[in-house]
Amino acid sequence: MKILVTGGAGFIGSYFIKYWMDKYPEDSITNLDKLTYAGNLENLKEVENNPNYKFIQGDICDKELVMDITKGIDLIVHFAAESHVDRSIEGPEEFIKTNVMGTLTLLEAALANGGIRFHHISTDEVFGELPLDNPNAKFHEGMPYAPRSVYSASKASSDHFVRAYYHTFKLPITISNTSNNYGPNQHPEKLIPLAITRAIMDEEIPVYGDGKQIRDWVFVGDHVRGIEMAIKNGEIGHTYLFGGDGERHNIWIVKKILEYLNKPESLIVHVGDRKGHDVRYAIDNTKSNKELGYTPDKDIEGWLKETVDWYVNNQDWWKPLKPLADKQAEGYLAKRI
């Protein structure tokens, strides 16, 4: 099988490529990535010399390029996206361009080149937020969309386009929506690697508001297995949700990281909250479990400890990226409460 992976130099995309090439060595993968700040070819060192792997630096909005490289492709796995909510607040145009128009470009190419099987990776944020006082309320595949940020609105729009190409043109698609991913090789601007790397360096760690926002944290390896299940066994036209059964307050996450590293909680600095900050996300895995057999391999404490250990042992990977994350953190810390 010939596969096009978009955004394959990013955190989840690179993990998927390595996982897939290890499990299906006979398949060939072309990785199309623009190499923005979040793309890192160091993530793919172990496959870069594999004859079944090819990297192309390019933009999913480049219609001519996308049309050309999708010829002869059997499967498109679409990770490429602008994904940081704070950045979407600061510059929404790039999110609309990449997440909406880029997805449309890929769909048009998939359709023009024979109706290529298309799997689209999305986020649980398209469903909005859940109440803190109702722990039984969770996102599920039948919920109406209610995005509350520019990022989630752009992803919701891309989901709708993917679904529309299935209903209108019979393009064979599946969609997966996931909760907050974490694990090795994640850019240190995100909460978990930001907290880990700054704690290692004995630096202040910014936490939005009181830190009581709840997220369902899923280890990237569990998510990638879910994607594989949806591609291999998912029903065409269907959506599948993949969570980690790891609902925790943000402040719990940061304190647990400090505990693992034997660092003081005095490193935590509470800062002004994000505009329109969603208070809670949680995913109901019932459909993906029943239809695909999906379940997380470990609980959050097991995976989080492994993640902390990876950052401790791979400082040469993240230290070159730290200045950009530090700039972001300094912006947060300037609004300390």
* 28-33 and 53-57 strand pairing: parallel
Shared domain check, 314 and 275: yes
Shared domain check, 105 and 191: no
Residue 88: pLDDT over 70: no
The whole-number pLDDT of residue 85 equals 66
Contact in structure between 32 and 58 (CB atoms under 8 Å): yes
First to last CA, the chain: 54
Shared domain check, 85 and 232: yes
Shared domain check, 275 and 327: yes
Contact in structure between 76 and 112 (CB atoms under 8 Å): no
Model confidence band, residue 238 (pLDDT cutoffs 50, 70, 90): very high
Q: What is the pLDDT of residues 5-35, one digit of tens each?
A: 999 999 999 999 999 999 999 999 999 999 9
Model confidence band, residue 89 (pLDDT cutoffs 50, 70, 90): low
Shared domain check, 128 and 197: no
Shared domain check, 26 and 168: yes
289 in any annotated domain: no
305 in any annotated domain: yes
The enclosing domain of 274 has a CATH number of 3.90.25.10
Residue 202: pLDDT over 90: yes
The whole-number pLDDT of residue 41 equals 94
In whole angstroms, give the CA distance from residue 308 to residue 101.
36
Shared domain check, 155 and 93: yes
Shared domain check, 120 and 90: yes
Within 13 Å, how many C-alpha atoms sit on residue 38's CB side? 18
Lowest model confidence (mean pLDDT) among 5-14, 46-55, 126-135: 126-135
For residue 206, CA distances in Å to 259, 278, 318 come to: 17, 17, 18
Which sequence positions are flagged as catalytic?
124-125, 151
225 in any annotated domain: yes
Q: What is the side-by-side order of every strand in the sheet holding 247-249?
A: 180-182, 214-219, 247-249
288 in any annotated domain: no
167 in any annotated domain: yes
Shared domain check, 169 and 129: yes
Model confidence band, residue 91 (pLDDT cutoffs 50, 70, 90): low
Shared domain check, 237 and 134: yes
22 in any annotated domain: yes
Tokens 């690179």 map to which residue?
14
Percent of the chain's residues with pLDDT above 70? 98
Q: What is the pLDDT of residues 239-272, one digit of tens each?
A: 999 999 989 999 999 999 999 999 999 999 999 9
Q: What is the pLDDT of residues 153-192, one digit of tens each?
A: 999 999 999 999 999 999 999 999 999 999 999 999 999 9
What pTM does this model have? 0.94
- Of 228, 163, 170, residue with least CA distance to 1: 228
292 in any annotated domain: no
The residue segments making up the domain with residue 313 are: 184-215+246-281+298-331
Shared domain check, 141 and 198: no
Element (DSSP H or E) covering residue 288 = helix 286-292
The enclosing domain of 107 has a CATH number of 3.40.50.720
Shared domain check, 261 and 231: no
**Residue 298 per-residue DSSP state:** S
What total number of domains does the chain contain?
A: 2
